[in-house]
Amino acid sequence: MSSDLLGSLETARAAMRAEAAAIEASAGRLGADFEKAVGILQAAGSKVVVCGIGKSGHIGSKLAATLSSSGTPAVFLHAAEAIHGDLGLYKAGDPTILLSKSGSTEELLRLLPFFRKQESPIIAIVGNTESPLAEAADAVLDASVEREADPLNLMPTSSSTVSLALGDALASALVKVRGFTAEEFAGFHPGGQLGRNLLLTVGDVMHPLERVARATESASLREVVIEMSRCALGAACMVDDKGALVGLLTDGDVRRLLTEEDLDLSKGVGDCMTRNPIAISKAITLGEAVRLMETRSSQISVLPVTEPETGVLLGLFRLHDAYQPNFS
């Protein structure tokens, strides 16, 4: 590896460590003003307005989105657009979070008289606690850093990361004090994977029994492989005379068997299958199922779905089904 590339790795690691240290220092400064800020946001009668410009504006936009998705309605107001009509989104008393590294951003300072007129409590996330914005705020969160993380000490790196972390800290604290639940969170994310994992169960997406390759353990390996080709879901389930699951044969098992030189396709599948395989209930959420399948030394890609008390086979769930709706 060239010396230039080695130098870039060292610079990258130094930047990340500098940002981590800046966040740690900021966490140590949290105190009464943070608790006051949480109280202001918790008492909000309607929405929270997050306002900034430049890099602070980008952080503010993310903060507004995070608050909204976690039970605190919020909107982002671009400071420059605010003075050209966007202040119409305000209702009297809307709490306002202002973000500024310097604490003296001109566009934000011009808005202070309006905020006072609206009787809007102000939370300032600023890099200078003795700045005009800090002096005007009801609660001040110290986002100061010793230096930026880039080699020139010019780009908003450590400072913007600390502001982002303070915003996440506010959102996290509000989740705690409001008792916001995972089910409520899922309700705000119905179209994404987060929502699918929390709102849907295995029963909602599993392949029903009639579409699953099944056989008894006395069936031949050839018969089961033919059945697996007819119901191409990646596995065949072996059941007893009461329909209870007794074994599983996967596509991977078949591929491994085919490497045997003396493979006898007429032998009973009971000699090849995995006995008493892991199975899941149709009532568990997709998120729980995915964790069960992925957080293992050897990942599972397909699981039988059974009745918990009787072990009767109900269907088949594939890891793929957690990420893509089953339209079959």
* Residue pLDDT, tens place only, 119-128: 999 999 999 9
**Mean pLDDT score, 201-227:** 92
**Mean pLDDT score, 293-306:** 85
The CATH superfamily of 3-180 is Glucose-6-phosphate isomerase like protein; domain 1 (3.40.50.10490)
- Greater pLDDT, 204 or 31: 31
Query: What are 258-294's pLDDT values in tens digits?
Result: 888 888 888 889 888 999 999 999 999 888 888 888 8
The answer, yes or no, to whether residue 30 has pLDDT greater than 80, is yes
Query: What are 150-195's pLDDT values in tens digits?
Result: 999 999 999 999 999 999 999 999 999 888 776 666 666 555 556 6
CB 267 within 8 A of CB 276: no
The answer, yes or no, to whether residue 3 has pLDDT greater than 80, is no
Can you give 141-157 as a three-state secondary structure string?
EECCCCCCCCCCCCCCC
Identify the CA nearest to 125 among candidates 90, 165, 91: 165
The answer, yes or no, to whether residue 27 has pLDDT greater than 60, is yes
Identify the CA nearest to 33 among candidates 179, 147, 137: 137
The answer, yes or no, to whether residue 327 has pLDDT greater than 50, is no
The answer, yes or no, to whether residue 1 has pLDDT greater than 60, is no
pLDDT of 67 reads 93
- Greater pLDDT, 294 or 242: 242
pLDDT of 193 reads 59
Q: How far apart are the first and last CA of the chain?
A: 50
d(CA 277, CA 275): 6
* pTM of the predicted protein model: 0.68
Q: How confident is the model at residue 6 (pLDDT cuts 50, 70, 90)?
A: low
Contacts 24+ apart (CB under 8 A), 73-78: 73/44, 73/46, 73/47, 73/48, 74/47, 74/48, 74/49, 74/50, 75/47, 75/48, 75/49, 75/50, 76/49, 76/50, 76/51, 77/49, 77/50, 77/51, 78/51, 78/52, 78/53
Identify the CA nearest to 129 among candidates 162, 89, 161, 91: 162
What phi and psi values does residue 179 have, to the nearest 5 degrees? Answer: 65, 30
Q: What are the start-end ranges of the H helices in 83-192?
A: 106-109, 112-117, 132-136, 158-178, 182-187
DSSP secondary structure string for all residues of 66-95: HHHHTT--EEEEEHHHHTTTGGGG--TT--
pLDDT of 328 reads 46
The answer, yes or no, to whether residue 95 has pLDDT greater than 60, is yes
- What is the average pLDDT value for the chain, to the nearest integer? 89
Q: How many CB atoms lie within 10 A of CB 4?
A: 7
CB 240 within 8 A of CB 261: no
Give the list of residues 6+ apart from residue 300 with CB closer than 8 angstroms, or none.
278, 292, 293, 319
Q: How confident is the model at residue 78 (pLDDT cuts 50, 70, 90)?
A: very high
The CATH superfamily of 202-323 is CBS-domain (3.10.580.10)
Q: For residue 20, what is the enclosing H or E element? A: helix 3-29
Domain ranges, ordered by start, for the chain? 3-180, 202-323
DSSP state of 271: G
- Greater pLDDT, 327 or 215: 215
pLDDT of 5 reads 61
What is the biggest distance separating any 2 CA atoms in the chain, rounded to whole angstroms?
Answer: 87
The answer, yes or no, to whether residue 325 has pLDDT greater than 50, is yes
Q: CA triplet 250, 254, 258: central angle to 5 degrees?
A: 170
